[in-house]
Amino acid sequence: MLRVHELGVSYPTRTGELQVLDNVSLEVNDGEFLAVVGPSGCGKTTLLHVLNALLPPTSGRVDRAGATTAMVFQRPTLMPWRTVLANATFGLECKGVARDEAERRALVLLERMQLADHVADFPHQLSEGMKQRVNLARALLVEPDVLLLDEPFSALDVMTRRQLQDDLLELWQRHSVTVVLVSHSLEEVAYLADRVGVMGTKPTGLRAVVDIELPRPRAADPEAAVAMMRVVEDLHRRMVG
């Protein structure tokens, strides 16, 4: 679906070229949940921006074969002057969908995401978890082929994070969307992903792509949790090794 071929990205800086990504090749398969994990500042967000065509590759290429993408930003980036409903429809609005139609679709999804009581609220009235759900709804509403998520759960407390991770899994299955999640949390990617791309420190190629063959739901019982921790340790070794 999305094919990244020998991708390199560098920025000009005062001290010369800063190589952020180097020779990254990756394939995103139809309908899969792919995660890319790496330490902070390793170029994960840059990779997502290239996938979303917000940033041109310096070398190599991205073959998107007509696939559409939508991005869930790390911060909720909700416009404070818009209500929850108006924030959720922003993507559809950019795509030129008529307001009535956009609101009708948004209300269906917001209800499914337990936000029905908050559609008329302003972002400052919401908890961080709710804000992030609106962020997710806004991207899902444009019905992208690939949903790109940039560490969307990193600022949440443990309970809210798990809740949103489960919500995401449910949405992924229900909407049969392809997901690319970028994260610095090994536990998170082991809990969520079918495949994990492991990145090291800058300038970074992909160190390994690991299939995670754990049954879902993961961490349902102690044995499953132990199996998940084994995957975490394996990923960690590959990241630093």
Partner 1 sequence: MWLSVGAVCAFVLGWEAAHRLGWLNPVLLSSPTRIADEGWRLLSTGALTADLVFTLEVFCVSVIAAVVTGMLVGFAIGYSALAYHVMNPFIVTANSLPKIVLMPLIVLWLGIGMSANVFLATLMASFPVITSTYAGVKTLDRDYVLLARSFGASRGHMMRAIVLPGITPYVLSGLRVGISYAMVGALIAEFFASSKGVGYRMVLFMSNFQVDAFFVCMTMVAVFTLACTSLVHWLERRVDAWRPSAFRSARGL
Binding residues vs partner 1 (CB under 8 A): 52, 54, 69-71, 73, 75, 77, 79-81, 90-91, 93-95, 121-122, 124-127, 130, 142
Q: Which residues contact 233 (CB under 8 A, 6 or more apart)?
A: none
Residue closer to partner 1, measured from CB, 64 or 195 = 64
Q: By C-beta, is 81 or 100 nearer to partner 1?
A: 81
Cα distance between residue 123 and residue 109, in whole Å = 17
Q: How far is the CB of 70 from partner 1 (least distance, A)?
A: 7
Residues 6+ apart with CB under 8 A from 75: 155
**Least Cβ distance, residue 85 to partner 1 (angstroms):** 13
Please name the residue that has the structure tokens 């840059």.
Answer: 46
DSSP classification of residue 186: H
- Cβ-Cβ contacts under 8 Å for 159 (sequence gap 6 or more): none
Residues 6+ positions from 166 with CB-CB distance below 8 Å: none
Minimum distance from CB of 175 to partner 1 (Å)?
A: 17
- Residue among 52 and 204 whose Cβ is closer to partner 1: 52
Q: How far is the CB of 98 from partner 1 (least distance, A)?
A: 14
Neighbours of 160 (CB within 10 A): 17
* Cβ-based nearer residue to partner 1, 89 or 165: 89
CB of 106 to partner 1, least distance (A): 14
Q: For partner 1, which is the closer residue by CB, 79 or 226?
A: 79
